[in-house]
């Protein structure tokens, strides 16, 4: 078999966008090329012919992808350093990836968000589902925070930033280079400003009637989690006049929404003191500081301590970080979710509400629900499942990518 043609390894992948200049890569005979034709976004290293030339492609290089019979599959972004060796960019292998191409993708995404929200605070780009594999963009008014978590986007960050400004008119574009995914791609952790200036301190973000303070440079991820917006709203609707405990609260996600809806009181628990400080600032901005309290410490330890103190709440919600970020971590992660349910259930008053959340894509809904129900049972409680929530519509799912449906929220009446 003739080896796929590739350019020299020192070619700049950000400039090699003209179809005539692109190398060709090929899938293995037993690889599922049909899945790619039907919209699957990733090609794994064990599905592709990886010879010496392919291994020497610079991360971010664009290539024409063919099946084993040399039939075209589309345009793919390569990274020989990653298990996901190819990310599909377009079904047309002749597509040119330039600023106009980025502008088209961003314009389509912006049109959807304009239908969903009346203020510019949302996830603007949700990676593969919005046609920009590995790219996350959260918008905070006149500022966008970009996470280019794939090599192809990282080397084209300047082009992406220019397109973002042209389409949205934002004044500031920040690059956030933190996160596990960039490490898996072999990318650096150097963040910076690609347009405009850094915001002066945390930004107030209105959502569900509450005010959240987002630290766009020093906070977790992009500074705020927009994905829980509909679940915050669902829980808040049941908290009027009630006592609320928000565990793994970050900057006050569930607790501030509950106060905005008329909760009697809300306590936020988190292991991050800076996050709790931002939550307190948010409560103060809402003039709700007298109804708001925080507890800094490990969530598992704090739940146990609250029980020993005889504490009781009408609504308890636990929104932990990913306990099962991969299949390898699944069993340990499910045990952790079960333990959270077991520790939280005794704090819920009779006929009260327990909300349990998971952002682990490796733990599907059935596995997570089973672990949660087991934990509730081992705490000596019984409950009915009132509602199952998912990420908001600004976090669309790609049907061919199970990982895009990562968020699950379960609400029980105990």
- Which ranges in 42-98 belong to alpha helices (H)? 52-55
Total Cβ atoms within 10 A of residue 141 = 16
Total Cβ atoms within 10 A of residue 286 = 19
Closest CA relative to residue 277, chosen from 225, 172, 201, 209: 201
Phi and psi at residue 406, in whole multiples of 5°?
-80, -30
Give the SS3 label for residue 111: helix
Q: Which of 144, 318, 357, 359 is catalytic?
A: 359
**273: which 2 tokens?**
């003191």
Q: CA-CA distance, 355 to 343, in Å (whole number)?
A: 13
**350: which 2 tokens?**
């009779």
Q: CA-CA distance, 377 to 375, in Å (whole number)?
A: 5
What 8-state DSSP symbol labels residue 169? -
**162: which 2 tokens?**
């220019």
**152: which 2 tokens?**
């192809």
Q: Which residues contact 19 (CB under 8 A, 6 or more apart)?
A: 64, 93, 94, 95, 96
Beta strands in 209-256 (DSSP E): 210-214, 243-247
Number of helical H runs and strand E runs in the chain: 12, 19
**401: which 2 tokens?**
């990518």
Q: Decide if 318 is catalytic.
A: no
Active site residues: 359
């Amino acid at each position: 078999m003739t080896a796929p043609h590739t350019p020299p390894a020192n070619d700049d992948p950000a400039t090699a966008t003209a179809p005539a200049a692109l190398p060709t890569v090929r899938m293995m005979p037993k690889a599922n090329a049909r899945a790619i034709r039907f919209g699957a976004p990733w090609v794994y290293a064990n599905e592709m012919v990886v010879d010496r030339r392919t291994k020497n492609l610079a991360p971010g290089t664009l290539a024409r992808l063919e099946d084993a019979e040399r039939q075209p599959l589309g345009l793919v972004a390569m990274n020989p350093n990653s298990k996901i060796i190819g990310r599909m960019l377009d079904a047309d292998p002749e597509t040119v990836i330039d600023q106009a191409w980025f502008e088209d993708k961003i314009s389509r995404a912006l049109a959807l968000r304009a239908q969903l929200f009346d203020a510019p605070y949302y996830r603007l780009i949700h990676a593969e589902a919005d046609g920009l594999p590995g790219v996350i963009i959260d918008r905070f008014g006149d500022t966008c925070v970009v996470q280019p978590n794939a090599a192809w986007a990282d080397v084209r960050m300047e082009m992406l930033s220019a397109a973002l400004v042209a389409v949205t008119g934002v004044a500031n574009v920040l690059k956030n280079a933190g996160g596990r995914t960039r490490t898996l791609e072999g990318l650096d952790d150097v963040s910076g400003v690609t347009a405009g200036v850094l915001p002066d301190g945390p930004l107030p973000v209105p959502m569900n009637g509450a005010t959240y303070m987002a630290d766009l440079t020093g906070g977790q991820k992009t500074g705020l989690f927009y994905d829980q917006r509909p679940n915050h709203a669902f829980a808040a609707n049941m908290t009027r006049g009630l006592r609320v405990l928000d565990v793994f609260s970050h900057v006050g996600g569930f607790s501030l929404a509950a106060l905005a809806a008329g909760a009697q009181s809300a306590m936020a628990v988190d292991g991050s003191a800076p996050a709790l400080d931002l939550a307190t600032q948010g409560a103060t901005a809402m003039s709700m500081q007298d109804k708001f309290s925080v507890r800094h410490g490990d969530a598992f330890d704090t739940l146990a301590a609250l029980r020993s103190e005889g504490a009781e709440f009408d609504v308890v919600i636990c929104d932990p970080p990913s306990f099962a970020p991969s299949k390898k971590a699944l069993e340990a992660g499910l045990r952790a979710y079960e333990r959270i349910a077991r520790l939280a259930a005794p704090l819920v008053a009779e006929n009260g509400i327990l909300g349990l959340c998971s952002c682990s894509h490796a733990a599907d809904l059935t596995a997570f629900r089973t672990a949660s129900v087991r934990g509730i049972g081992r705490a000596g409680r019984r409950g009915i499942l009132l509602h199952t929530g998912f990420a908001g519509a600004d976090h669309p799912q790609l049907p061919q990518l199970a990982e895009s449906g990562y968020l699950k929220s379960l609400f029980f009446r105990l």
